[in-house]
Chain A
Amino acid sequence: MQFALMIYHSPEEFAMRKNDYNDPQLGAWRAYHKALVQARVYVGANALELPETGTTLRLRDGKRRVQDGPYADTKEQLAGFIILELPSVDAALEWAARCPGASLGAVEVRPLAPEAMQRGFTG
C-alpha cells in the first residue's frame, strides 16, 4: 500500500532552508532520497515553497473568497511530501524516522486512500 510522509516545519525551520547545493541539510535530504530509491519504495516527492507564498480560495454563493496565506493558521506548516510504496505503517514509520524532516519539525504518516476509491476520483 502507499503512504504519504508529510513534512511539517516551523517558521524557524523554513528560515533555515538554503538554496545551496553544499548545505549539509540538503545533503541529508539527497542521501535520504537515494536510500528510498535504492530500497525501491520511492513513488514520488515534492518540496513546497514557503507557506506565506500560498493563497487559499473558497467559493461561497458563487463568489470567490481569496485569502492570502496557507489554509491552516498554525505554527507548523506543510513543507513537502513524499509518497512511498510499503507493506505496513510499521515500515512507513521506519522510513519516517530516517527522514531528515523528523529530527527538525515533524513528519505525519498517512496512508493514501485505497485504490478502489482512487479510481472513483480519477475514473
Chain B
Amino acid sequence: MNGSNQEDTHRTIERVARESYGRLVAYLSVQTHDLASAEDALSKALLSALTHWPQDGVPQNPEAWLLTAARRSVIDVVRHQRVAQASEPTLKLLKEDSMETMLGTDFPDERLKLLFVCTHPAIDPAMHTPLMLQTVLGLDAARIAQVFLIAPKTMGQRLFRAKTKIRSGGIPFEVPQERDLPQRLDAVLEAIYAAFGIGWDELFGTDQRGRSLAEEATWLARVLLQLMPDEAEVQGLLALMLHCEARRSARRGPDSRYIPLSEQNPKHWSLPLIEEAERHLSEAFKLGRSGRFQLEAAIQSVHAERGRTGRTDWAAIAAFYEQLVRISFSLGTQAAYAAAVAEAKGPEAGLAVLESIDRDAVADYQPYWAVRAHLLQRLGKTREAADAYDRAIDLAEDPAVREFLLQKRG
C-alpha cells in the first residue's frame, strides 16, 4: 500500500475515533459498569486498527469492527481476572458476544447515560467536566490537566479515583427518573458549559487548543440536544454557546488587543451562528419552561440585536439579569447585573447594586472591581476609581485584559 493511501487510512481511523469514541465507550461501559476497562479496550481496538486497516483495507463498517475488537479485549481482561470478580454485567456482555453480527451500526446510543454517570452527585463536582471530556470525547488526561492547570499525574489519579467509584460505588448507568431529572440535568449542562468556559479562557492565550475545546463543548451540547430534544434548558445552553461563538473573532483586535462587547464591531460577528442561536432560543421558549441558560442566552440575544438596530436595549438586559440573579445567584451574575443597571438607569443605580454584595465575598473577584472602577469613573470620582482599577488590574489574569484596564485607568 502506498503512502498516501496509508495516510487516508490513518485519517479514517482518526475520524472514526473522533465520531465514535463516546458512543463506543458508552455502549461498552453501560454493560460492564467499568469505564476504565471500556476505554482501555477501545484504545487497544484503535491500535489494532492502525496495524490491520492499512494492510487489509478499511472495513465496510469501521464502528462495528472497533466494537467487536474492543469487546474481545474486554472479554480477555475478564478471563484474566475471572477468579477475582467476574461480575454479572460483564458476563452479560460475554453472552451478547454472539449477537454482535446483529448489532451492526445500530447498537444503541448510550451516551446520555454516560453523561449522567459523569455528573452523578456522588462524584466530586470538580471532576464532572474532566470525566466527560475523557469518556465522551476521548481527550487524554494530560490534555485535560493542561486546561485545568494541574499536573497531568494528579489529573490522572483523580480520573482514576472517579472511575473506581463509578465501577464499585453502585452508580447506576441510567437516565434519572422524572423527579430527579431537573437537578441531574443541571449538572450535565453545568459540566458542558464549564468545558466551553475553559475553552474561552484558553482563547485569551494565542493557542489553538482553546478554540477546539470550545468546539468540543458545543458538539457535546448538540449531542445532548439530539438525545433530549424537548428540554428547554438544553436548547438554551446551545443558544448561549452559539451566541458566544458568533463573537469569537470580534473579541480581539488585529494586534490581539482585547475588545469588550460594547466596543465590538457587529460586522465581525458571525450571522449564521447568531441565526442558529436564535432558532434554538425560540424553540426553547416554545417549551414554556424558563431557566438559567435560556436567560443567559436571551441576554446574549439582546446584545446580538445591536447588529441589526445599532443600539443595545439595556433595560431588557437588566430585566433578564434581575431574573437570573433570582434563580441562580453568583458573583458574576450580580456584577453583570450591576453593569446592566448602570447602562439602563445610570451609574449610581449600578453602584447601588454593587453595594448590596457582601464585601468579603468580592475581595478577590476581578470583574467586581472592573465594573466598580468603570462606574466610579463615570461618576467623576477619579481617586476612588483609580483605586478600584488598581484592584482589578492586580487581579486580572489575562495580559490583554490588564492592558485594557491600564488604558482605562489613564
The residues of A with any CB-CB pair to B shorter than 8 Å are 1, 3, 86-90, 92-93, 109, 111, 114, 116-117
Residue in B closest to A90 when the chains form the complex, CB atoms: B172
Contacts of A114 in B (CB 8 A): 85, 87, 168
The complex places the Cα of A93 from the Cα of B84 at a distance, in Å, of: 28
Q: CB < 8 Å: which of B87, B171, B176, B180 contacts A89?
A: B171
B85 near A111: Cβ-Cβ < 8 Å:
no
Once the chains bind, are B168 and A88 in contact (CB under 8 Å)? no
Most chain B C-beta atoms within 10 Å of own C-beta, residue among A3, A93, A109, A116: A116
B260, CB-defined interface residue at 8 Å = no
* Nearest B residue to A117, CB-CB: B85
From A88, which residue of chain B is reached at the shortest CB distance? B172
Chain B: residues with CB nearer than 8 A to chain A?
Answer: 84-87, 120-122, 168-172, 176, 180
B85/A89 in contact, CB under 8 A: no
Q: Which residues on B sit within 8 Å (CB–CB) of A93?
A: 121-122
Query: B84 near A88 (CB under 8 angstroms)?
Result: no
Chain B, Cβ-Cβ closest to A110: B169
> What residues of chain B lie closer than 8 Å to A87, measured between beta carbons?
170, 172
Q: Which residues of A contact B168 (CB under 8 A)?
A: 111, 114
Contact B170 A89 (CB under 8 A): yes
Nearest residue, chain B, Cβ from A113: B168
A117 neighbours in B (Cβ, 8 Å): 84-85
When chains A and B are docked, how far (Å) is the Cα of A89 from the Cα of B173?
A: 11
Taking CB atoms, residues of chain A closer than 8 Å to B120 are: 89
> Which one of B168, B170, B180 has the highest number of Cβ atoms from chain A below 10 Å of its Cβ?
B170
How many whole Å from A108's CB to the nearest CB in chain B? 11
Collect the chain A residues with CB atoms within 8 Å of residue B122's CB: 89, 93, 109
Closest to A3 in B: B170
Q: Which residues of B contact A1 (CB under 8 A)?
A: 170
- The contact sample of 8 A-B pairs, CB cut-off 8 A, is A87-B170, A88-B171, A89-B120, A89-B169, A92-B170, A111-B169, A114-B168, A117-B84
Contacts of B172 in A (CB 8 A): 87-90
- Tell me, rounded to whole Å, the shortest Cβ–Cβ distance linking B96 to chain A: 21
B162 to chain A, nearest CB (A): 13
B326 to chain A, nearest CB (A): 27
List chain B residues, Cβ under 8 A from A89: 120, 122, 169-172
How long is the Cα–Cα vector from A88 to B172 in the complex, in angstroms? 6
Bound Cα distance A86, B168 (Å): 14
Contacts A89-B122, A93-B121, A93-B122 known; A116 to B86 CB distance under 8 Å?
Answer: yes
The answer for the CA separation of A89 and B121 in the assembled complex, in Å, is 10
Cα distance, A1 to B87, chains bound together (Å): 12
A87–B169 CA distance with the chains assembled, in angstroms: 11
Which of B85, B87, B121, B180 has the most CB atoms of chain A within a 10 A radius of its CB?
Answer: B85
Closest to B177 in A: A90
Give chain B nearest CB distance to A5 CB in angstroms: 13
Contacts of B180 in A (CB 8 A): 90
Task: State in angstroms the CA–CA spacing of A122 and B38 once bound together.
Answer: 31
Closest to A114 in B: B85
CA distance A88 to B180 in the complex (A): 14
Cα distance A5–B120 in the bound complex, in angstroms:
19
A118–chain B nearest beta-carbon distance, Å: 10
A116 near B171: Cβ-Cβ < 8 Å: no
Q: A3-B170, A87-B172, A89-B171 are in contact. Are A116 and B84 (CB under 8 A)?
A: yes
A87 CA to B173 CA in the complex, in Å? 11
Other than the known A3-B170, A90-B172, A116-B84, what 9 A-B pairs have Cβ atoms closer than 8 Å? A1-B170, A86-B170, A89-B122, A89-B170, A89-B171, A109-B122, A111-B168, A114-B85, A114-B87
A44 to B122, CA, bound (A): 24
Alpha-carbon distance A123/B257, docked complex (angstroms): 70
Most chain A CB within 10 A, of B169, B172, B180, is at B169
B121 contacts A116, CB within 8 Å? no
Shortest B181–chain A CB gap in Å is: 12
**Complexed CA–CA distance, A112 and B84 (Å):** 16
Residue of A nearest to B168 (CB): A111
The 10 closest A-B pairs by CB, nearest first: A88-B172, A89-B170, A116-B85, A111-B170, A88-B170, A89-B122, A114-B85, A89-B171, A1-B170, A89-B169
CB-CB < 8 A to B87: which residues of A? 114, 116
Give Cα A3 to B170, complex, Å: 9
CA distance A36 to B257 in the complex (A): 64
Q: Report the minimal beta-carbon distance from B348 to chain A, rounded to whole angstroms.
A: 46
Chain A nearest CB, measured from B311 CB (Å): 50
Complex CA–CA separation, A90 to B176 (angstroms): 9
